[in-house]
């Protein structure tokens, strides 16, 4: 176990800054997930921690020791690659022992560690097989086993589940969570899959364009996204972001009007940017309800026309349009939903479910 | 119409089989003819060139090996070619590893300079090589011939291996780095074993090329005791007559090591040739 500190970390490729100003502290035994879309710099950040990519600016510390110029082999880290990177000419046993042999461990100790890791990962019967004779899930386990036997200070995972099919990904996810609980190790895990991030991470770090957008516990980030990008990136279907002009000045008083509904103070930001123009109203699809019989008091009603209906069995995803609003509205309704394309009806949501964002800067407007 | 389909399929198979048989006869026929002649006496061959052996003259192989100095030529060839192939493979693999894995200032130009030498025909360089070997006291020595063989085969070796090594996933090297290995150990423990199909390919190609070399050997070797096999076969060709039977016997002796090397590495050769064709 160790803590990892990234202070103003940056990576330059020629004239392009792939990563810049990353400040992140990962505590002992923490499962930190670096999350973001392709090209956001999360893998580059991980590779800088691993020592596979030179650091252009900033400082990296592991357990307080600066690591900027320390070679990968001396950082006491282990990494699981997206492609698993198993040595194809070696058996499972040799793959797992390869790193230990280099570090001159006694043969008995190598055998003990390999046997122990194989037991944890259910690889006992496969130790003498070559990687080509293993399934994707088994290879993934071997890659994890190769990391475990090293007993490193920090485990690094670079999208390790992305090559697995959906069912296997779910089971491997659970196995990795259990493994983290069992070993209590510090893990830095890169993924673009928000479900992995939400379910596995003790904290997540959302990145975009080489910069950190938000760091926090998964549920906190989900419930209180720092900006419109994070709001849109976390959640499936993503949060609805509707352009609105909510501020109204009437008789010397400013009130907030959304789709014809006046919103009480306390759930709206005290200040609107640029006279209340260019504001994004965010509402999660699951916070929207179907209100054909009228809208309960205090709720916000919207007249919509149903465009698409996707029945997923356990739930129904509705795509709807609002007159005068270019952005479609997506709602997640129950499995008994009877709406059909072309229907005109009312949707409703509570003012407390609204997230306000500045349309220009993307930043959250705090209510 | 199942019977019609069956007839078409049979016809197609027959045409394919016929074409394959024709090609086999075309390529293997001369070898079979040489093999047949190697077991016949020259007067018999002159009388009936295409006849099968009436009696198998295995004693011709013993005679070629003992009385015609073939044993010496064979071991000269074996020593020179094995040494040259070994050096070209190791040095070529190291260079290919460096060019494939590391981008350093000028690496592209170094690669281009090496590969450009492939296009020059040997006739252009052989006079210069002769002079260099004379100047350094290496003319008419097996060491000199070995060095020349290494030099002429190295560019192709680097070219083939670099292309293969570049396709080995970078993550494999990175995993080894994290496992604690340096570049030198990674070359021996990862690049060489993983790249073995390509290495087997270059070993076979280099071996065949050098084992059959006549031009460099005839220019750079003079003494009979340092001749290689292709020069030994030439001994049976005189100005006035050719001992065609002994030439055939000599050729069969010469071809055996090539067959052995090919059989040993052929599976890897096919892997090397098809590597990257499918994921």
In the predicted structure, residue B76 carries a pLDDT above the cut 70: yes
Cα–Cα dist A87/A98, whole Å: 9
The pLDDT, as a whole number, for residue A252 is 59
Residue A18 has what DSSP assignment?
A: E
The parent domain of residue A32 ranges over: 4-233
Asked whether B133 and B220 are in contact (CB, 8 A), the reply is: yes
Q: Is residue A259 located within the same domain as residue A205?
A: no
Backbone angles phi, psi at A331, to 5 degrees: -125, 145
What residues of chain B lie within 8 A of the CB of A103, using their CB?
Answer: 180
What mean pLDDT comes out for the span B144-171? 94
- Is A83's CB within 8 Å of B169's CB? yes
Tell me yes or no: is domain B64-274 CATH 1.10.3720.10.
yes
| Domain end among A190, A216, A233 | A233
Query: What DSSP element (H or E) covers B16?
Result: helix B2-38
Cα–Cα dist A52/A75, whole Å: 11
In chain A, the residue whose alpha carbon lies closest to the alpha carbon of B175 is A85
| Domain end among A175, A205, A233 | A233
| Domain end among A210, A233, A256 | A233
Closest CA to A194 of A164, A237, A227, A156: A237
Q: Residue A191: give its domain's CATH number.
A: 3.40.50.300
Q: Is residue A71 located within the same domain as residue A185?
A: yes
How confident is the prediction for chain B on average, in pLDDT? 87
The pLDDT, as a whole number, for residue A205 is 97
Task: Give the E-state strand segments of A98-197 in sequence order.
Answer: 154-158, 186-191
pLDDT in tens, B44-61: 888 888 888 888 888 888
Provide the whole-model pTM. Answer: 0.81
Asked whether B177 and A55 are in contact (CB, 8 A), the reply is: no
Closest CA to A297 of A261, A341, A343: A261
Per-residue pLDDT of chain A (367 residues; tens, 9 = 90+): 789 999 999 999 999 999 999 999 999 999 999 999 999 999 999 999 999 999 999 999 999 999 999 999 999 999 999 999 999 999 999 999 999 999 989 999 999 999 999 998 889 999 999 999 999 889 999 999 999 999 999 999 999 998 888 888 888 899 899 989 988 899 999 999 999 999 999 999 999 999 999 999 999 999 999 999 999 999 999 999 998 877 666 655 666 777 777 777 777 777 777 666 788 999 999 999 998 887 777 788 899 999 999 999 999 999 999 988 889 999 999 988 889 999 999 999 998 899 999 988 889 988 6
Q: What are the angstrom distances between the C-alpha of A201 and each of A35, A81, A180, A198, A230? A: 10, 18, 10, 6, 16
What mean pLDDT comes out for the span B236-255? 79
Q: Is residue A218 located within the same domain as residue A316?
A: no
Q: Residue A304: give its domain's CATH number.
A: 2.40.50.140
Q: Measured on CA atoms in the order A205, A211, A214, A219, is the torsion positive or negative?
A: negative
Bridge pairing between strands A57-62 and A65-66: antiparallel
Q: What are the angstrom distances between the C-alpha of A3 and each of A70, A93, B209? A: 16, 30, 59
Q: Is residue A304 located within the same domain as residue A256?
A: yes
Q: Is residue A196 located within the same domain as residue A277?
A: no
**ipTM for the complex shown:** 0.83
Q: Measured on CA atoms in the order A107, A113, A116, A120, is the torsion positive or negative?
A: negative
Q: Is residue A158 located within the same domain as residue A182?
A: yes
In chain B, the residue whose alpha carbon lies closest to the alpha carbon of A84 is B171
Query: What DSSP element (H or E) covers B271?
Result: helix B244-274
- Is B178's CB within 8 Å of A50's CB? yes
The tokens 């709406």 sit on which residue? Answer: A339
The pLDDT, as a whole number, for residue B66 is 82
In the predicted structure, residue B225 carries a pLDDT above the cut 50: yes
The pLDDT, as a whole number, for residue B278 is 33
Query: Cα A232 to chain center, whole Å?
Result: 12
Asked whether A55 and A10 are in contact (CB, 8 A), the reply is: yes
In the predicted structure, residue B81 carries a pLDDT above the cut 90: yes
The pLDDT, as a whole number, for residue B108 is 85
What residues of chain B lie within 8 A of the CB of A78, using their CB?
Answer: 178
What is the least distance, in Å, from the CA of B191 to any CA of chain A? Answer: 10
The pLDDT, as a whole number, for residue A324 is 84
Q: Select the residue of B169, B171, B177 nearest A73 (Cβ to Cβ).
A: B177
């Amino acid at each position: 176990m160790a803590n990892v500190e990234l202070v103003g970390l940056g990576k330059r490729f020629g004239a392009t800054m792939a990563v810049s100003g990353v400040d992140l502290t990962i505590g002992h035994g923490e499962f930190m997930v670096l999350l973001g879309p392709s090209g956001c710099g999360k893998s580059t950040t991980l590779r800088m921690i691993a020592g596979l990519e030179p650091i252009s600016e900033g400082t990296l510390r592991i357990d307080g020791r600066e690591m900027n110029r320390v070679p990968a082999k001396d950082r006491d880290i282990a990494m699981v690659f997206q492609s698993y990177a198993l040595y194809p000419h070696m058996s499972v046993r040799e793959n797992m022992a390869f790193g230990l042999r280099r570090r001159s461990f006694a043969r008995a100790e190598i055998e003990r560690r390999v046997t122990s890791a194989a037991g944890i990962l259910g690889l006992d019967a496969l130790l003498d097989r070559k990687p080509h004779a293993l399934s994707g899930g088994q290879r993934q386990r071997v890659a994890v086993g190769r990391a475990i036997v090293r007993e490193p200070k920090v485990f690094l995972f670079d999208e390790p589940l992305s090559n697995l099919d959906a069912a296997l990904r779910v089971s491997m996810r659970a196995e990795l969570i259990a493994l983290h609980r069992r070993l209590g190790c510090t893990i830095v895990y890169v993924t673009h899959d928000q479900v992995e991030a939400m379910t596995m991470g003790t904290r997540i770090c959302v990145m975009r364009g080489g910069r950190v957008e938000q760091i926090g516990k998964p549920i906190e980030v989900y419930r209180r996204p720092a900006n419109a990008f994070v709001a849109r990136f976390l959640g499936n279907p993503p949060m609805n972001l509707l352009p609105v002009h909510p501020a109204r000045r009437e008789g010397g008083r400013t009130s907030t009007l959304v789709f014809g509904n006046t919103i009480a103070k306390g759930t709206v930001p005290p200040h609107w940017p640029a006279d209340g123009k260019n504001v994004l109203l965010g509402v999660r699809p699951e916070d929207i309800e179907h209100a054909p019989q009228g809208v309960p008091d205090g709720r916000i009603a919207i007249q919509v026309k149903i465009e698409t209906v996707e029945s997923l069995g356990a739930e129904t995803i509705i795509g709807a349009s609002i007159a005068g609003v270019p952005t479609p509205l997506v709602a997640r309704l129950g499995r008994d939903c009877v709406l059909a394309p072309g229907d005109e009806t009312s949707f409703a949501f509570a003012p407390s479910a609204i997230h306000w964002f500045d349309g220009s800067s993307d930043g959250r407007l705090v209510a | 119409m199942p019977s019609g389909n069956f007839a078409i399929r049979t016809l197609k198979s027959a045409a394919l089989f016929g074409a394959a048989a024709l090609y086999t006869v075309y390529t293997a026929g001369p070898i079979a003819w040489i093999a047949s002649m190697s077991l016949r006496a020259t007067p018999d061959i002159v009388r009936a060139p295409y006849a099968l052996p009436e009696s198998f003259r295995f004693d011709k192989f013993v005679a070629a090996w003992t009385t015609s100095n073939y044993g010496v030529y064979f071991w000269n060839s074996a020593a020179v070619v094995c040494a040259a192939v070994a050096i070209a493979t190791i040095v070529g693999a190291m260079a290919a590893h460096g060019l494939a894995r590391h981008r350093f200032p000028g690496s592209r130009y170094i690669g281009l300079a090496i590969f450009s030498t492939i296009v020059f025909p040997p006739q252009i360089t052989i006079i210069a090589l002769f002079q260099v070997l004379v100047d350094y006291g290496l003319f008419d020595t097996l060491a000199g011939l070995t060095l020349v063989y290494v030099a002429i085969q190295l560019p192709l070796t680097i070219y083939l291996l670099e292309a293969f090594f570049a396709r080995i996933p970078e993550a494999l090297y990175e995993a080894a780095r994290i496992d604690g290995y340096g570049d030198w150990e990674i070359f021996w423990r990862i690049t060489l074993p993983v790249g073995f199909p390509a290495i087997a390919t270059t070993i076979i190609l280099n071996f065949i090329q050098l084992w059959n070399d006549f031009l460099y050997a005839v220019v750079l070797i003079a003494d009979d005791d340092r001749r290689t096999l292709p020069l030994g076969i030439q001994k049976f060709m005189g100005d006035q007559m050719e001992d065609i039977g002994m030439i055939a016997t000599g050729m069969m002796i010469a071809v055996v090591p090539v067959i052995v090397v090919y059989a040993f590495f052929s599976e890897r050769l096919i892997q090397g040739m098809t590597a990257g064709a499918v994921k």
